[in-house]
Amino acid sequence: MKKNEHRNLQRNADRFTGAAYVNLYDTFRPSPPLEIIHQTLNYANISHADTLVDLGCGTGISTEIWSRFSKKAIGIEPSEEMIALANKKQSDNCSYIVGYAHAIPLPSASVDIVTCSQSFHWMEPQSTLNEIDRILKNNGVLVIYDVIWPPSVNIELEKSYTLLFENVSRLTHQLKETIAHKWNKQGHFSTIKNSGYFNFLKESYYHKTETFDKEQFIGIALSQGGLEALLKRGFSEEDIGISKFKNEVARCHMLPYNEITYNYKVIFAVK
């Protein structure tokens, strides 16, 4: 891996630090729909995985769900603070490792399923796919899934969320430093296809609907790394537009159907 790429990965990991932020992330980020897990297992033609690896596992939100369908679930994450929180709540068949996706400390052909929950865009794709190919068994499955932000609620709230993050983007571009590097999510499918490692590849969409809660909607926004990066650099809630966003959410009228829907874009790849 090139030196600048390693520096990018370290910057990315640095976004997900700080006790208050890590706890907020763990409280408000959604867990994946079970249907994604079921479909992954169907593609692997197994009801439970012997070994599953969750790359960029964060605080273990997804890892803990996957552990119900795995004899052994291993979460890998570069943020030590996130791993520390994951370790506090882990199930008996879960374990966590501080590390990067391009250097997975597991034997070759030892893993049934590799998952990336809202994380693949933080990883250098080619070195990560090389390593995934190394550890996956034949017929093993890679599944990558990302929430399409903002979640679906109503026009008023979604416009407010979008305006908040347009301001986050504007302020970020004004900084004289690079605070993170994202690889384009739109390029994931072609990157995986061009790797030549997989004999079946499919892009699909799933969703998960829950009862809408204003605090949850605000928490989802505050859990975004780009917004947190500005707070860490001394921008106020007023500067960023958080205060305005919170007020607009508080004033929102009652929804006809009190629901929030998380829409997921999913890539399945079978080796």
Q: What is the model's pLDDT at position 1?
A: 57
For residue 244, give the nearest of 145, 134, 165, 126 by alpha carbon.
165
Q: In this structure, are residues 103 and 131 in contact, taking their beta carbons and an 8 Å threshold? A: yes
Q: What is the model's pLDDT at position 14?
A: 57
Residue reference for tokens 């790797």:
195
- Tokens encoding 36: 């994604």
Q: In this structure, are residues 129 and 28 in contact, taking their beta carbons and an 8 Å threshold? A: no
Distance CA 84, CA 168 (A): 28
Q: In this structure, are residues 78 and 99 in contact, taking their beta carbons and an 8 Å threshold? A: yes
H/E segment holding residue 127: helix 125-135
Q: What is the model's pLDDT at position 12?
A: 46
Number of C-beta neighbours around residue 246 at 10 A: 17
Strand partners for 138: none
pLDDT by residue for the chain (271 residues), tens only, comes to 555 555 555 554 555 668 899 999 999 999 999 999 999 999 999 999 999 999 999 999 999 999 999 999 999 999 999 999 999 987 889 999 999 999 999 999 999 999 999 999 999 999 999 999 999 999 999 999 999 999 999 999 999 999 999 999 999 999 988 777 889 999 999 999 999 999 999 999 999 999 999 999 999 999 999 999 999 999 999 999 999 999 999 999 889 999 999 999 999 999 9
Q: What is the pLDDT of residues 160-209, one digit of tens each?
A: 999 999 999 999 999 988 777 889 999 999 999 999 999 999 999 999 99
Is the CATH number 1.25.40.10 carried by domain 3-147+182-209+260-270? no
Distance CA 266, CA 136 (A): 19
Within 16-165, strands assigned E span 49-55, 70-77, 94-98, 111-117, 136-147
Distance CA 7, CA 5 (A): 5
- Tokens encoding 179: 């605070």
Strand partners for 121: none
- Tokens encoding 159: 């416009």
Residue 25 region, left (φ>0) first, then alpha (ψ -120 to 50), else beta? Answer: alpha
Q: In this structure, are residues 49 and 263 in contact, taking their beta carbons and an 8 Å threshold? A: no
For residue 98, give the nearest of 118, 122, 117, 74 by alpha carbon.
74
Q: In this structure, are residues 187 and 199 in contact, taking their beta carbons and an 8 Å threshold? A: no
Q: In this structure, are residues 209 and 263 in contact, taking their beta carbons and an 8 Å threshold? A: no
Could you tell me the strand order of the sheet in which 49-55 lies?
A: 94-98, 70-77, 49-55, 111-117, 136-147, 259-270, 200-211
Q: Where are the domains of the chain?
A: 3-147+182-209+260-270, 152-180+213-254
For residue 164, give the nearest of 249, 102, 83 by alpha carbon.
249
Q: In this structure, are residues 213 and 155 in contact, taking their beta carbons and an 8 Å threshold? A: no
Q: What is the pLDDT of residues 114-140, one digit of tens each?
A: 999 999 999 999 999 999 999 999 999
Q: How many helices (H) and strands (E) does the chain have?
A: 12, 7
pTM of the model: 0.92
Q: What is the model's pLDDT at position 36?
A: 98
Q: What is the model's pLDDT at position 113?
A: 98
